[in-house]
């Protein structure tokens, strides 16, 4: 505990938002000014916040007499939630310290708790049981790699896991892995809520306006890039006849990527400058929050960050949902099943490295012709595959709500 303020101060040097709202993180002087009963959803960061969108909408529609509380761990998650959910209470999840967690439950007294994906905090789970808050792990995801790590402490994890009222999994592999870890409670495979997307029309309007300033060039987005990947990308930028969008995963890295662009003498424009793109702009740096759908909408092809270096990949559902063919690198363990299915169904192509990635881009772009009558045939088939891929997996949010409704 004494090291936590030092950690926050260190993070605060890169992102000043870490310097605020410490009382929420440490469970001190918490206040609840809402007199409605609370439904609590914990979504740690941006991906989980977005994945909860449809479910939150369904809960608001079915239970208007309740107030939704959304907790998160990161400032980017908080900013995303603020832009998406104007009617919810936003709060940082308390650190997993007994007094902080106890004060959280005493203050908000949630009727039910929904933990997105794989957030397993012993005190948070233990005191939910003590304060009679039914707790569910929803949209649960446990890859083979994560399972191996958890399996080393299986004897410690088993009693904690079995305090969940139920675990609602994305897929059968996750369900099986939790059983192997010793979970004996209710377990259901409901699918992945990330397929239940609802995109604000404003994103399409902004995308159209920006696309008009690009001219006849096509657009390739490198989405949610991670440490070291931007350097690989920028080294391969030469005289491509398409615009490249780079959107770093974390906002504190925007300046670092801009410095790389300057060092390599790449002509770029930052989104935050709010300037029209010009004919000689090589890179559009996506240094904004909450606009990923806009970036995807103005793109013709998406390359998923986190997959080019060993970070396990990022969410490829969003571009596919918008009918954008996807290129993924060799590292996909965070989204292994979705990546495998997308490659199998020809929504995505997997490459071995950055060099093959750029070769594949050129092959799909076919000298820049992605218009309907002059498109590369493989590209056209991938677009058609995207149109049907997402639909077969949708409905997880409704199935989740149906399951938890008997506890509300």
> Do 310 and 384 share a domain, yes or no?
yes
- Residues 91, 20: Cα–Cα separation, whole Å: 12
**How large is the C-alpha radius of gyration of the chain?**
22
> Do 294 and 234 share a domain, yes or no?
yes
Tens digits of residue pLDDT in 161-195: 999 999 999 999 999 999 999 999 999 999 999 99
Neighbours of 106 (CB within 10 A): 13
CATH number at residue 228: 3.40.50.2000
CATH number at residue 77: 3.40.50.11720
Residue 46's domain comprises 4-196+394-407
> Do 224 and 174 share a domain, yes or no?
no
- Mean pLDDT, the chain, rounded, equals 93
> Do 189 and 261 share a domain, yes or no?
no
> Do 45 and 186 share a domain, yes or no?
yes
Sheet-wide strand order for 112-116: 89-92, 67-72, 38-42, 112-116, 135-140, 166-169, 186-189
- DSSP annotation of 45: S
pLDDT at 198: 83
Please tell me the total count of domains within the chain: 2
| Per annotation, catalytic residue among 24, 48, 117, 318 | 48
- Active-site residue, 48 included: yes
Model pTM score: 0.85
Judge whether residue 301 has pLDDT over 90: yes
> Do 240 and 277 share a domain, yes or no?
yes
Work out the end-to-end distance of the chain between its first and last CA atoms, rounded to an integer number of angstroms.
Answer: 35
Judge whether residue 366 has pLDDT over 80: no
Tens digits of residue pLDDT in 225-277: 999 999 999 999 988 899 999 999 988 899 999 999 999 999 999 999 999 89
> Do 268 and 358 share a domain, yes or no?
yes
Neighbours of 78 (CB within 10 A): 23
Confidence tier at 14 by pLDDT (50, 70, 90): confident
Say if residues 149 and 179 touch (Cβ distance below 8 Å): no
Judge whether residue 373 has pLDDT over 50: no
> Do 164 and 220 share a domain, yes or no?
no
> Do 106 and 224 share a domain, yes or no?
no
């Amino acid at each position: 505990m004494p090291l936590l303020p030092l950690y926050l101060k260190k993070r605060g040097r890169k992102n000043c938002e870490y310097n605020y709202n410490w009382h929420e993180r440490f469970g001190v002087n918490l206040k609840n000014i809402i007199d409605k009963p609370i439904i609590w959803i914990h979504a740690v960061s941006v991906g989980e916040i977005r994945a909860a969108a449809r479910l939150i909408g369904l809960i608001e529609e079915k239970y208007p007499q309740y107030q939704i509380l959304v907790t998160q761990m990161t400032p980017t998650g908080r900013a995303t939630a603020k832009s998406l959910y104007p009617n919810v209470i936003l709060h940082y999840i308390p650190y997993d310290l007994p007094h902080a967690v106890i004060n959280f439950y005493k203050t908000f007294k949630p009727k039910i708790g929904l933990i997105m994906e794989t957030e397993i905090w012993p005190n948070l789970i233990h005191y939910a049981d003590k304060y009679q808050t039914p707790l569910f792990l929803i949209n649960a995801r446990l890859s083979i790699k994560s399972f191996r790590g958890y399996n080393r402490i299986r004897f410690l994890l088993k009693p904690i896991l079995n305090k969940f009222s139920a675990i609602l999994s994305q897929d059968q592999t996750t369900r099986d892995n939790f059983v192997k870890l010793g979970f004996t409670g209710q377990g259901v495979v409901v699918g992945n809520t990330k397929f239940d997307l609802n995109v604000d029309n404003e994103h399409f309007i902004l995308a159209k306006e920006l696309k008009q300033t690009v001219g006849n060039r096509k657009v390739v987005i490198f989405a949610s890039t991670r440490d070291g990947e931007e350097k690989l990308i920028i080294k391969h930028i030469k005289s491509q006849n398409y615009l490249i969008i780079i959107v770093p995963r974390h906002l504190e890295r925007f300046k670092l990527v801009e410095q790389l662009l300057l060092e390599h003498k790449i002509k770029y424009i930052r989104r935050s400058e709010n300037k029209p793109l010009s004919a000689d702009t090589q890179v559009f740096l996506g240094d904004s929050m909450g606009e990923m759908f806009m970036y995807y909408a103005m793109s013709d092809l998406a390359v998923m960050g986190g997959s080019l270096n060993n970070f396990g990949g990022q969410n490829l559902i969003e571009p596919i949902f918008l009918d954008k063919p996807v290129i993924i690198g060799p590292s996909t363990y965070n989204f292994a099943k979705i990546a495998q299915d997308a490659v199998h169904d020809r929504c995505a192509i997997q490459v071995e490295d950055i060099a093959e990635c750029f070769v594949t881009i050129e092959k799909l772009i076919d000298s820049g012709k992605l218009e309907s009558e002059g498109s590369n045939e493989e590209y056209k088939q991938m677009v058609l595959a995207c149109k049907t891929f997402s639909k077969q997996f949708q409905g997880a949010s409704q199935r989740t709500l149906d399951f938890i409704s008997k506890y509300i």
